[in-house]
Amino acid sequence: MSLIKSKKRVADHGEVFTPPWLVEQMLDLVKGESERIDSRFLEPACGSGNFLVPILKRKLAAVEAKFSKSEFEKQHYALLGLMCTYGIELLADNIAECRANMLAVFADYLNLDEGDDFYRAASFVLSQNLIHGDAMTMKDMDAKPILVVEWGYLGKGKFQRRDFRLDVLTGMASFSAEGSLFAHLGKHEIFKPATAYPPMTVRELAGAGDASGEAA
């Protein structure tokens, strides 16, 4: 397995992929979190998913251990696991590969075809969670602030979505630091979503991808 695509890309973008054995050792350092379905992981230089794919696999193994007896729960919690993985990547081919690699693992686990609602919903989620942008400036390729989607599972097939600006989320620590002008503000005053959506079913998420034209 090659860990580089070209010398030029290494020089221009520091593109050297992490070998699988090292990824597994690093994930074992946070074993409990990596095996929890709803723990959130953001890879700010995700490449084609050398970390995100094994994280998704660990989450799906947790889904299998907990929900394999109910197809309904298994499918919905598998989607929740996918919803809790995030990436940012500068290069268009890498982010496209990353979305495709994640979707292939998810579809393989649930035995999905391209037309299935869960496949289309997963494709939409990946188009939102795996962002083509610059993690340093926290802007996407249209120079707009990167938005991070907070997904939640409400049960009974319904998902919640709230969008937050990444620059606001990462600024939280300094807002609440002692001596900060904003230290007197409650977290709820800073921690406001840019957009909050009504609860959505998997079918609605699948349709959202068709409507926006954004799918992995």
Q: Where along the sequence are the contacts to ligand SAM (CB under 6 A)?
A: 13-18, 43, 45-47, 50-51, 88-91, 94, 134-136
**Residue 52 Cα distances to 25, 95, 102, 190, angstroms:** 14, 12, 8, 29
Q: Which residue has the tokens 């079913």?
A: 201
Q: Where are the alpha helices (DSSP H) in 52-165?
A: 52-67, 71-83, 92-110, 117-129
Count of helices and strands (H, E) across the chain: 10, 7
Using the minimum distance from each CB to ligand SAM, give the nearer residue, 110 or 149. Answer: 149
Using the minimum distance from each CB to ligand SAM, give the nearer residue, 136 or 177. Answer: 136
In angstroms, the first-to-last Cα distance of the chain is 25
What sign results for the dihedral spanned by CA atoms 75, 76, 81, 85? Answer: positive
Using the minimum distance from each CB to ligand SAM, give the nearer residue, 27 or 60. Answer: 27
Helix (H, G, I), strand (E, B) or coil at 58: helix
In the complex, minimum distance from the CB of residue 3 to ligand SAM, in angstroms, rounded to a whole number: 8
Using the minimum distance from each CB to ligand SAM, give the nearer residue, 17 or 67. Answer: 17
Neighbours of 73 (CB within 10 A): 16
Using the minimum distance from each CB to ligand SAM, give the nearer residue, 48 or 75. Answer: 48
In the complex, minimum distance from the CB of residue 118 to ligand SAM, in angstroms, rounded to a whole number: 27
